Amino acid sequence: MEIKKQIEKAKIGDQVAFTSLLDYYWNEVYGFMLKRTENETDAEDITIETFAKAFDKIATYNPEFQFNTWLIAIAKNVHIDMLRKKKSTVFLDITDEEDNQAYNVADSSPSPEDKIITEQNLSRLLQCIKELKPHYQEVIQLRYFQELSYQEISEQLKEPLSNVKIKLLRAKKLLAEIIHNRR
């Protein structure tokens, strides 16, 4: 995968490019934050927030620097903010304008992961979902069983829309891996 091409596509709002970048860099950012925080939940929350912030601000990325360096810098800042707030979860104050931009990025058409979720045998699928961490189970439940929109999930969880999107994307990826490994 050519990272520069994916970044350029992401800058113009390509959802597939966002997903590729998330998949490619997730482990690096998560691993860095896990070493730094020594807490899986905090590391995961910071990583989700890092990608949400990075994708909201991707137009400001300077290609003179490595993309992973930029992501790690964002992760460090998110962690510092978390420490300042002394909370175990991290939320950015997102303006209405930023929220609308993030909402417009959402692609409501079913993705391949959505089709896999829909096509699976319900009892088998529920067993797979139970293997996810509780906060991932919750977003899957809200999106696919209660059929809430991203915005409705954001309001119900009292989390920024971009966090909900990243969390759902990660939950779907993990669920697809669980389903694949059971075959």
What is the pLDDT at residue 75? 92
State the Cα–Cα distance between residues 52 and 163, nearest whole angstrom: 6
Q: Is residue 28's pLDDT more than 90?
A: yes
Q: Is the distance from CB of 40 to CB of 52 less than 8 angstroms? A: no
* Segment (H or E) for 155: helix 150-157
Mean pLDDT of the chain: 80
- Output the pLDDT for position 99: 54
pLDDT tens by residue, 122-167:
667 778 888 899 889 999 889 888 888 888 999 999 988 888 888 8
* Listed residue (24, 21, 28, 23) closest to 6, CA to CA: 21
Residue (of 156, 50, 164) closest to 58 by Cα position: 50
The pLDDT assigned to 67 comes to: 92
Q: What is the pLDDT of residue 163?
A: 86
Reported confidence tier of residue 76, pLDDT bands at 50, 70, 90:
very high
Name residue, tokens 């903010």: 81
| pLDDT at res. 87 | 47
Give the Cα separation of 157 and 176 in Å (integer). 23
pLDDT above 70 covers what percent of the chain? 78
What confidence category does residue 104 fall into, taking pLDDT thresholds of 50, 70 and 90?
low
For 41-61, the pLDDT digits (tens) are 888 889 998 998 898 888 888
**CB 74, CB 53: distance < 8 Å:** yes
Give the pLDDT of residue 33: 92
Q: What is the full DSSP assignment across 99-133?
A: HHHHHHH---SPPHHHHHHHHS-HHHHHHHHTTS-
Q: Is the pLDDT of residue 62 over 80?
A: yes
Residue 88 gets which letter from DSSP?
S
| pLDDT score of 106 | 47
Q: Which token pair is 79?
A: 């962690």
